[in-house]
Structure 1
Amino acid sequence: MSLTRRAVLAGATAASLLPLAGRAQAQSAQAQSPQASDLLRRPIPSSGEPVPVIGIGTSRRYNVEPGSEGFPPLREAVVRFLDLGGRVIDTAPDYGRAEEVMGAIMAEGDLRQRAFLCTKVAAQGREAGQAQIAQSFRRLRTDLIDLIAVHNLIDTDTQLAELKALKEAGRIRYLGATTWVERQYGDLEALMRRERLDVIQVNYAIDAREAAARILPLARDRGTAVMVNVPFGRERLFNLVKGKELPPFAAEFDCATWPQFFLKYVLSHEAVTCPVPGMAQRRYVEDNLGAARGRLPDAAQRRKMEEWIDGL
């Protein structure tokens, strides 16, 4: 995470951090630790399978050499995330060595069985797509990937055909498509209307709300799960609130830190299944998972949050 977020978190008082017990013993994805039991979950509409509402994104921060000095903090963050009841981990071939890093972590003990592992395909043409997907299986060191999505709508029809075949064969459990820019919303809307996607991934944040007007209602109507990328606006929001105290009304929905403020806003939209903020340190895992506990803002509180941020 950037220095900007470090500065924001450093300014919080110790009382602002939710108390967390020690690491739970390793367990299967079906078992629940006492810590995991209070995490909010939402179902994937196409199956009804519930998933915890905060995931890990691996863009940028997980692009390190496995076994390098940058690897242990990432391993610690992922293990802590799983021990606290998190499951959804999102990566992609385009994220440098992130798939390799995650594969090395997932190979330990029963970690793979406890994770809901997501990656993407970003290739032109059938053979290139097949090769990239095969590479993802090798890098992630698994025979089953929970979700593969077409990354940024690249050669969508070709890659979706391959993903449908993989799903039919039992190699993947869910398929979908992603974008992170508003200029692709028209293409994403058209795709969502003509295809039955299990999951989409889209950009959405308290200061970037167009998805709430266009994509999220359509996802709700089509029965599509929604993962949210860049819920912090790629540090834009942390820059905006640097040095500022939380507004007093944040306590009304059990919010103790700025990251929780931003994540609870995203989660308070009923169509959102799971934002996937980047988490490269244990302390960010502990803080962000706090957004999956307690109350969420209601409609009136959402408006107050928007007005407060818009006024900065």
Structure 2
Amino acid sequence: MDKEYNRRDILKLSGLAGLGLVLTPMFSSFNIKDKVLLRKIPSSNQLLPVIGLGTWQTFDVDNSEPEREILSKVLFEMNKLGGQVIDTSPMYGSSERVVGSLTHNQDFEDNLFYATKVWTSGKESGINQMETSFKLMQREKMDLMQIHNLVDYKTHIKTLRDWKEKGKIKYWGITHYTDSSHPELEKVIQSEKPDFVQFNYSILSRNSEKSLFETIRKYNTATLINRPFETGNLFRATKGKEIPIWAKDYGINSWGQYFLKFILSNELVTCVIPGTSKPHHMIDNMMAGYGKMPDAKTRELMYNYIKNL
């Protein structure tokens, strides 16, 4: 994570040097002295890179060797450009197993920050499911265990607190993906004080700015952001449209970087976890974690530009 890269280094390590002319815009503002932005987990002050990887749908490939090989490259690119967080769940088909098999015995295995979830009701069912996740992901200790969509959270919180105290997990958290869940997330943050909260947030989906982020600030909660591209809707809305010239001042050279840098310009965002199964998209996403971040005035300029397309 402390390594510095220029454009040639990145193309070489990614095996994409032959596509240099195609990829040039992606790296045109990349400075050899740049390093990926890091932000603190408030409960520990541990630093995390601001761009990670979600695995919903994208890592549910089971034993497909061609797809697994490509996903190995995705993980390789993320690690080489300083990314760490990989987020999965028992809900995501074979994703936990694929993450475990693709990272096990790799040079970067212990560089990653492993996050998964419990997604069932009942104490024993939850324990069994989480133990299975440990086995599938080939981890003796999990960095982050989250309660998926707040399912039976009052039961699972007791287990997670116990596991954290025993060192089985480093952090625990709660998740959801809808605007309507934000009030309940706030209540749980206030009453239970989780280390992390994961929720939806994007340039055109800003409900969390009403009060959720203020609660996060007050209770010093780390954040993982899901649905940053609104399941692709933002790309469909901007297809064929030019990125505004002024966005280049912030190292923005793709719509993906535009959307991610808007999110990251909110200082209460710890890490964004866009999902992808394509190495060049992983590289593009990681680029959003480098360079200058938009200020408050530019954030609104970015929002209004997209809103009025």
The two structures have a TM-score, normalised by structure 2, of: 0.90
Alignment of 1:279 onto 2:276: yes
Match in the other structure for 1:309: 306
Match in the other structure for 1:31: none
Deviation at 1:280, TM superposition (A): 1.2
Deviation at 1:108, TM superposition (A): 2.4
**Which of 233, 236, 250 pairs up with 1:236?**
233
Match in the other structure for 1:216: 213
Alignment of 1:159 onto 2:168: no
Equivalent residues, number: 290
Alignment of 1:295 onto 2:292: yes
**Unpaired segments ≥5 residues, structure 2:** 1-18
Alignment check: 8 A CA contact 1:36 1:86 kept: no
For residues 57-82 of structure 1, give each alpha carbon's deviation from its aligned partner in whole angstroms, at most 9, with x where no partner exists: 00011001135321110011102211
Q: Write the distance in 2 (CA, Å) between the matches of 1:59 and 1:196.
A: 26
The SS at the match of 1:177 is: strand
Deviation at 1:111, TM superposition (A): 2.7
Alignment of 1:139-288 (within 5 A): 139-288=136-285
Alignment check: 8 A CA contact 2:29 2:251 kept: no
Task: Show structure 1 runs of 4+ deviating over 3 A.
Answer: 12-15, 34-37
Give the AA of the match of 1:154.
V
**Unpaired segments ≥5 residues, structure 1:** 1-9, 22-33
Moved more, 62-71 or 246-255: 62-71
Give the AA of the match of 2:263.
V
Q: Write the distance in 1 (CA, Å) between the matches of 2:181 and 2:33.
A: 36
The SS at the match of 1:307 is: helix
Q: Write the distance in 1 (CA, Å) between the matches of 2:53 and 2:216.
A: 21
Q: Write the distance in 2 (CA, Å) between the matches of 1:185 and 1:283.
A: 33
Deviation at 1:109, TM superposition (A): 2.8
Q: Write the distance in 2 (CA, Å) between the matches of 1:108 and 1:248.
A: 44
**Which of 22, 44, 47 pairs up with 1:47?**
44
Alignment check: 8 A CA contact 2:226 2:273 kept: yes
Identical columns (%): 34
Q: Write the distance in 1 (CA, Å) between the matches of 2:283 and 2:28.
A: 9
Deviation at 1:214, TM superposition (A): 2.0
Alignment check: 8 A CA contact 1:216 1:226 kept: no
Deviation at 1:35, TM superposition (A): 7.4
Moved more, 131-140 or 78-87: 78-87
Give the AA of the match of 2:215.
L
Give the AA of the match of 2:46.
E
For residues 201-222 of structure 1, give each alpha carbon's deviation from its aligned partner in whole angstroms, at most 9, with x where no partner exists: 0100001000122211211111
The SS at the match of 1:146 is: strand
